[in-house]
Amino acid sequence: MRAHPAPDPRPLGLDEAIRLLESGQGQDISVDLGEGRLARADSARGSEGLLQRLRGHKMMLALASGAADLSRFSIAPRSLTIAPGVQEILDAATQRD
C-alpha cells in the first residue's frame, strides 16, 4: 500500500492557485471559487485541466464585473476555433448597451 500526503485542507484563492499551477507546484490543491464552490484537479486532464478551468473562471469574473474590455480583441478569420457556447459569451461581452 502506498501512502500519499493528504491534500491541503485549506482551499486556495483563485490567483494563488493559478500562480502555483503555472509554476508546476499545484498538486492536490482545492480552489475556493466562492459561494461554497470548490475546484480540484480531478478530471482526466489533471492539473493542466484545472489551470485552464481557473483561467476561464477568472476571465468570466472579469467579464461579469466589466473589468475585461474585449472591444479591441480581434483575430484573423479561421485562425482560432471557438466552441459555440464560448463564442456566444464573447459576442455578448463585446456588445455595448
Provide the whole-model pTM.
0.63
Beta bridge partners of 34: 37
* CA–CA dist 6, 56 (Å, integer): 27
* CA–CA dist 25, 28 (Å, integer): 9
Q: What is the pLDDT along the chain (97 residues), one digit of tens a residue?
A: 565 555 556 899 999 999 999 998 877 889 999 888 999 887 777 888 888 889 888 888 887 787 766 666 666 666 666 777 777 777 777 776 5
